[in-house]
A and B are shown apart, each in its own frame.
Chain A
Amino acid sequence: MRFSGRLCVSVALWLVFGGVIAGAQSATWPSERPPGPLAAREVRFPPYEVRTLRNGLQVITVLHHEQPAVSMRLLVRAGSVQDPAKKSGVAGLVASLLDQGTATKSAEQIADEIDFIGGALGTGSGSDLTFINSVVMKDSFNVGMNLLADVVRNPAFAPAEIERQKEQKISSLQVSSNDPDYVASVLLDRLVYGFHPYGLPNSGTPETLAAITRADLQEFHSRYFVPNNMILAIVGDVMSDEAFAAAERVFGGWPRGEVPAVTVVDPPQPTRRVVIVDKPDSVQTEIRVGQLAIPRKHLDYMAWDLAVKILGGEGANRLHRVLRSERGLTYGAQAETEARKQAGHVVAETDTRTETTGEALRLIVDEFSRLQRERVFERELSDAQAYLAGSFPLTIETPNDIATQVLNVVFYELPVEEIGTFRERVQAVRPDDIQRVARQYIRPDRLSIVLVGDASTFIPQLQRVGFTDFDVIPIEELDLMSATLRVEKPRAQAADSPVRGPGPAASANGVRGPGAAASPDHRAADPARAAYAGTQVNPAAGDAADILQSAIEAKGGLDRLRALQAIVADAVMELQTPQGAVSAATKTYISYPDRFRLDTLVPGQESTLVYNRGQVWMKNPLGVEDAPEVARKDASASVNRDVVLLLLAALDRRLPVRRIPENETGRTPAHRALEFETPDSGPVRLYFDSRMQVIRQSYGARGMEGEPMRGEEIFSDYRPVEGLMLAFEAQIMRAGRVIVKRTLKNVSVNDSLADALFIRPQ
């Protein structure tokens, strides 16, 4: 800077002689093109360092000396996903209690200390993480580190503070449960993820918060707050060695701990569902439209993120254009990729006046369809890319911006080189990639839709634009922890009954409560919910045996299943490969119970796989061989998973079967689910729709390297063949990705099949 302060002489002179055209009339304002850019500046990612202490704590330093402050950001790799069952809110409560007293300091002392040094301390949690952020002036760096370590390592969880925080949280929920924006967002998560933890509110509910004990908090803390489960970033006006030394000093002596793995239920497959939350005094309707997509660490993430940006993000945003610029329906409309550790979803959101609710919803859903159906314009993609790549320097401006970039990479366990190659990776995406991911992941007919507003006024609009099937829930009756999304309705009735519990309430109503037989402990532990069991009337409700009976009936009846000997099917298999889809005609012969043959008819590359009571052979143009172990196991497993065989084995009590309670399926009671314990292939689950057809099967599978992964098959287009209901469409998935789509063409039942089909091919 050559000079500072007020107008300097040289500048004044320049103004006078510098070709100023002051006083020109706007009538004479030139018509012109925008000026071109100056020479581009080099964009360099600022220096940072990542080290791991001996106890496993990952420490990141980012040095920045412009302002004399240092901030510390500590992430714990545990959040609401690790909340114990029926205790949503534990992670959040732990976070809010960290700075409310430690072994040696009271809540007041901590507040006095951090406030007095002109620092700040904040804590919180999300679904996959808990964070503790602190900022201090550079001269208080050591004081700040000591305090950070104390609140992270030694929280007291004093009973009085627990009560205080619970009270605060429950009162806050009373406010947010009246906030349409909050309600719409948490309900959309719940519809998309079911009872997967991402579907449950991080903040808990008044009931789950009330159920949390001091021991729950201590256990969460001792399990997950261990150095090898944490990342610490030290950012700002400090030297690298000083920062690492401080981290070593306050955290180095903390022993590592075994972090238990959590097991969670899978999110449900996308299903079209429209839920209206009625808030009659609303002047606007909050709209959310979304569906399950992919987790953050997924090879398609970049292309998918750009696809969603075209739908509703910065740089492109079809939703904003259609809803706001063209029609004035809203102040804002956008779509976002919510990609987390275990799973991800896409959500579009807007708010619009009550009178235009139907129109806005139709437009949003149509944009999902359009993106899935039509190739995006080159220009739209390049605009979205230009924004995403071009804005990179804007995302590394402040020390905390820089730290966020590094923390993201470390937290999601992505390659650190990804920061440096970000812009190249953005620019590498082609319209074909967008089309591929849009086709693969967007299911316009299976979107979850939430509308919060004045239901009676906008429902007629919905019908006019083609939405005829929806649930309406008064806002005060919404309960995210309930399988039906509603609070158990007549609380008064439950209170009147002499004994609160599943038995009396259920029998009084003459209907067996869902799950009462299969999981009595769950119900007994929750009298309020147990009371609800008695008020629900659902013809499909019942225990495992009932479901089994209904499923067999729906499949074609017991006699027909017992008489089943053979199926021959011509099918088209569409293999999803990284290079694109490859389709092949196939012919399958099944000889019940334990032989099958699959011929794949690709000209010049015909192949055959034969399974005969545990023996497996493969034939291709190069010759015939005994199948390798992995293929043999896969073939056996596929026989063990045959739906007809599962149903009959369970009915004959050859296989243990249990009914899965709704809170595990994430489905409404219209959707039943059974779990079969197979001897060789582990648990296999079948999910039924309201007509008791199997719509999904899930099981443990193995990848190419033999690594365990989730296997699923999604069935649809059921048609009767000789009285047997068969799914003409199936999608076979591994780890959440579709690998094969199968469409049946011709099917015959109980043809007599020659034994020669099932011997080693020649």
Chain B
Amino acid sequence: MRIALRLAIGLCVCAVAALSIGPLQAAVRPPKLQYEVATLPNGLRVILSEDHSTPIVHVSVWYHVGSKNERSGRTGFAHLFEHMMFKGSRNVESEMHTSMISSVGGRSNAYTTEDVTVFWQTLPAQYLPLAIWLEADRMATLRVDEAAFRREREVVQEERRMRIENQPYGRLSEIIYDHAFVAHPYKHPTIGTMADLESASIADVRDFHNTYYVPENATVTVVGDFDTAQALQTVTQYFGRVPRAARRVPRDIPAEPPMAAERRAVVEEAWPLPAVVVAYHVTYDGHPDSYPLHITSKILSDGQSARISRELIYNQRLCLSAFGSGNITEHPNLFFAVCIVQPGRTPAEAEKALIAEFEKLKTEGVSTHELQRAQNQFARDYILGRESNEDKALHLAHAAVIHNDVTTADGEFDIFMKTSVADVQRVAHTYFNQSNRLVMHVLPKGARR
């Protein structure tokens, strides 16, 4: 699911204590991840990282396909397909994947983003072969059944109603992206529209599986209490027999043309308080500018001392909640700020205050103190974001799939360390410009009348 407030994952950090009283020294530098990678002859990428602290293991399979791979008229298909992966395969009855994992005390689930579809399970370590076998079985031999497909389509429609349509601000992200993009499929919500879900067919399911659920488009990551050689043998035994794809995985995704002028929109939704959005198009994950943009997100919104929190929520009491951050993904995406406007205050005031924060980044830049705070916060996120096997697998797989370079899972740490106040100001000048901006007011229904 695309979640509006979600920052791109896989960020690394820096923690230098240039000014500080000294609590932050080299000691807080987190340990590097230990792992091995392999590629099977059929193209499957494998990442293995041993961690013997608890007798459990996490297995994830990342398919490099998300909602940005969908063709028009079939929005929501990647996610609908994710559901179909639980509907049985040659040796596994429908819904049995989940129950076989839970019957040994394990947990499993899946999620879909703009860029990837991820299936995962965490289970007691001795059941690693079961998890590998189950994942390989559905990669090779998904069973598609018309009745199950229709029922699952209804389940996904309920998911859309639940997450998006039936809660205040549930559609906010969808509205922002619909107005901000014209050509690139990031325009469409990951969960799709009701009409497109309705028109999806079982032929689409077969075609999607044959096209994208192939070894060369997949990355298997295993983290936990196992022996690497033994695990690789198991992975090879079960995934190795999945045939290589007959054709290459298509990557023809339309690019978003640059904006020529500011876009403005006023829409109405049945939400209790107005929302104001200021969004700028920015670069992709891994681009040199992406690191200062991540720093900017922290400076604007991480913690009560961050600029937007302090100024718009605390000092001005203008917003019930507010943030500004980059949704930095595989293809160029948005950096956007949102303010849910307090009763008695106006959307115009909120717009002015949000834009002022972006302008200040350009004219005044940020202080070294702020930069250092942001870097220390990265160190914290980096450390706390690597406590569980699942966390570690996420960082490794993200680096491998999105950056096509697993070493970035650790390597970005130094890039953040070297980011300067000048870098932050430079990217602000590059992206936070009026002609590159969408300004949107979402008003409670009837408020315009």
Binding site for B on A (CB under 8 A): 1-8, 11-12, 14-15, 18-26, 29-43, 66-69, 99, 107-108, 111-112, 114-120, 135, 137-140, 143, 164, 167-168, 171-172, 174-175, 177-181, 281-284, 286, 314-315, 321, 324-325, 327-332, 351-353, 383, 386-394, 396-400
Q: A33-B91, A138-B27 are in contact. Are A114 and B161 (CB under 8 A)?
A: no
Complex alpha-carbon distance, A330 and B386, angstroms: 34
Check A118 against B376 for contact (C-beta < 8 Å).
yes
Beta-carbon contacts of B305-325 to A below 8 Å, as 1s and 0s?
A: 110001001100100100000
Q: Interface with A: B152-160, B260-268, B280-288, which one?
A: B152-160
Select B107's contact among A6, A112, A394, beta carbons within 8 Å.
A394
Q: A41-B225, A137-B379, A327-B151 are in contact. Are A14 and B232 (CB under 8 A)?
A: yes
CB distance from A257 to the nearest CB of B (A): 30
Task: Please report the number of residue pairs spanning A and B whose Cβ atoms sit closer than 8 angstroms.
Answer: 308
Contacts of B37 in A (CB 8 A): 5-7
Complex alpha-carbon distance, A115 and B305, angstroms: 7
- Given contact pairs A99-B304, A386-B104, A396-B54, enumerate 13 new A-B contacts (beta carbons under 8 Å): A12-B38, A20-B241, A21-B241, A26-B242, A41-B126, A67-B384, A111-B303, A115-B302, A140-B23, A180-B166, A351-B158, A393-B56, A397-B54
Chain B residue at smallest Cβ distance from A37: B126
Complex alpha-carbon distance, A1 and B31, angstroms: 14
Complex alpha-carbon distance, A387 and B20, angstroms: 48
Contacts of A171 in B (CB 8 A): 273, 320, 342-343
CB distance from B294 to the nearest CB of A (A): 15
Contacts of A1 in B (CB 8 A): 34, 36, 50, 228
Q: Would you give 15 A-B contacts (Cβ < 8 Å), ordered by A?
A: A5-B407, A20-B236, A20-B240, A20-B241, A38-B129, A41-B125, A167-B317, A175-B271, A175-B272, A286-B166, A327-B151, A329-B154, A351-B166, A389-B105, A390-B105
Check A397 against B388 for contact (C-beta < 8 Å).
yes
Check B42 against A67 for contact (C-beta < 8 Å).
no
Contacts of B30 in A (CB 8 A): 67-68
Complex alpha-carbon distance, A24 and B314, angstroms: 63
Select B162's contact among A5, A43, A331, A388, beta carbons within 8 Å.
A331
Select A67's contact among B107, B152, B383, beta carbons within 8 Å.
B383
Chain A residue at smallest Cβ distance from B302: A115
Q: A330-B155, A353-B157 are in contact. Are A137 and B38 (CB under 8 A)?
A: no
Check A67 against B158 for contact (C-beta < 8 Å).
no
Check B320 against A328 for contact (C-beta < 8 Å).
no
Complex alpha-carbon distance, A277 and B247, angstroms: 54
The reply to whether the CB of B259 lies closer than 8 angstroms to some CB of chain A is no
Contacts of B99 in A (CB 8 A): 383
Q: A116-B373, A325-B95, A390-B106 are in contact. Are A21 and B240 (CB under 8 A)?
A: yes
CB distance from B163 to the nearest CB of A (A): 8
The reply to whether the CB of B25 lies closer than 8 angstroms to some CB of chain A is yes
CB distance from A538 to the nearest CB of B (A): 33
Check B305 against A353 for contact (C-beta < 8 Å).
no
Beta-carbon contacts of B96-114 to A below 8 Å, as 1s and 0s?
A: 0001101111110000000
Q: Interface with A: B63-71, B133-141, B178-186, B434-442, which one?
A: B133-141
Check A34 against B34 for contact (C-beta < 8 Å).
no
CB distance from A167 to the nearest CB of B (A): 7
* A41, A107, A400 — most chain B CB neighbours (10 Å): A41
The reply to whether the CB of B127 lies closer than 8 angstroms to some CB of chain A is yes
Complex alpha-carbon distance, A392 and B122, angstroms: 12
In order of increasing CB-CB distance, the 7 nearest A-B pairs are A390-B105, A118-B376, A41-B55, A328-B154, A111-B304, A115-B303, A328-B151
Check B38 against A69 for contact (C-beta < 8 Å).
no
Check A164 against B140 for contact (C-beta < 8 Å).
no
Contacts of B153 in A (CB 8 A): 328
Binding site for A on B (CB under 8 A): 15, 20, 22-25, 27-31, 34-42, 50, 53-56, 90-91, 94-95, 99-100, 102-107, 122-130, 133-134, 137, 140-141, 150-159, 161-162, 165-169, 225, 228-230, 232-234, 236-237, 240-244, 270-273, 302-306, 310, 313-314, 317, 320, 340, 342-343, 369, 372-373, 375-380, 383-384, 386-389, 407
Complex alpha-carbon distance, A11 and B227, angstroms: 13
Complex alpha-carbon distance, A168 and B107, angstroms: 37
Contacts of B166 in A (CB 8 A): 180-181, 282-284, 286, 351
Contacts of A394 in B (CB 8 A): 56, 105-107, 122-124
Select A283's contact among B129, B165, B379, B389, beta carbons within 8 Å.
B165
Chain B residue at smallest Cβ distance from A313: B102
Contacts of A140 in B (CB 8 A): 23-24
Contacts of A68 in B (CB 8 A): 27-30, 383
CB distance from A706 to the nearest CB of B (A): 44
CB distance from B160 to the nearest CB of A (A): 9
Contacts of A329 in B (CB 8 A): 154, 158
CB distance from A491 to the nearest CB of B (A): 18
Select A116's contact among B50, B317, B376, beta carbons within 8 Å.
B376
Q: A139-B27, A387-B102, A397-B54 are in contact. Are A34 and B133 (CB under 8 A)?
A: yes
Check A38 against B125 for contact (C-beta < 8 Å).
yes
Select B41's contact among A15, A172, A327, A330, beta carbons within 8 Å.
A15
Q: A41-B124, A391-B106 are in contact. Are A120 and B380 (CB under 8 A)?
A: yes
Q: A330-B155, A394-B105, A397-B389 are in contact. Are A26 and B141 (CB under 8 A)?
A: yes
Select A34's contact among B55, B134, B270, B373, beta carbons within 8 Å.
B134
Check A390 against B158 for contact (C-beta < 8 Å).
no
Chain B residue at smallest Cβ distance from A382: B103
Check B40 against A20 for contact (C-beta < 8 Å).
yes
CB distance from B142 to the nearest CB of A (A): 9
Complex alpha-carbon distance, A328 and B159, angstroms: 11
Chain B residue at smallest Cβ distance from A314: B102
Contacts of A8 in B (CB 8 A): 36
Check B380 against A324 for contact (C-beta < 8 Å).
no
Check B102 against A107 for contact (C-beta < 8 Å).
no
Complex alpha-carbon distance, A26 and B373, angstroms: 54
